[in-house]
Amino acid sequence: MTGPNRRKVLLVDDDPMVLESLGMLFEHYGWLVERVASGDQVLQAQICFEHDFAIVDERMDGVNGLDVIRALKSRSKAPVFMLTGCVEPELREEARRVGADGFFDKPIGARALMEGVEARLRRREGSD
C-alpha cells in the first residue's frame, strides 16, 4: 500500500532495540510507524497519531502497559495488542478488562507477528 491508504501502527515500548526492530518490520511491510518510548507519553496525550493497530509492551518503566491500553482504548476503536513475556492468566484477564484485543508472546517471530496483525485486521474489517 502507498499513499493515504497505508496502514498505521503505534508501537509503545521502552526498550529501544524492540521498538526499532518492530518499527523496521512494519515499515518493511509498507506500514507507517509511530514509535513511542514510554507509556508516560501516551498518557500525557502527546501522541496524535491516528493508528489502525497498536502494540504495547506490558512492562515499562513508569506507566505500565495496562494503563497505556486503557488510555488508547478511551481514544480509539483500533485494536491494541499487548506484547508480553508473561503467561500469567491473571495478567491476560486484567488486560482484556482494560481493552486489550489480544496478545503477542515474547519472543515472537516476524512472520507470526505480521500474520497475527493481518488476521486481526481482517476480522475487524469483516465485522464493520
Report the CATH number at residue 36: 3.40.50.2300
In a domain, 1, yes or no: no
88-101 average pLDDT score: 94
In a domain, 3, yes or no: no
42 CA to centre of own chain? 12
Reported as a single tens digit per residue, the pLDDT across 4-16 is: 678 999 999 999 9
Q: Is 92 helix (H, G, I), strand (E, B) or coil?
A: helix
Reported as a single tens digit per residue, the pLDDT across 28-86 is: 999 999 999 999 988 886 566 689 999 999 999 889 999 999 999 998 899 999 998 88
Q: Is 88 helix (H, G, I), strand (E, B) or coil?
A: coil
Q: CA 67, CA 69: separation in Å to the nearest integer?
A: 5
Model pLDDT, residue 78: 93
45-to-24, 40, 42, 72, 73 alpha-carbon distances in Å? 24, 9, 5, 10, 13
In a domain, 97, yes or no: yes
Model pLDDT, residue 26: 98
- Angle CA(81)–CA(67)–CA(65) in degrees, nearest 5? 45
- The domain total for the chain is 1
Q: What is the residue range of 36's domain? A: 9-127
Model pLDDT, residue 106: 87
In a domain, 98, yes or no: yes
| pLDDT at position 3 over 60 | no
In a domain, 111, yes or no: yes
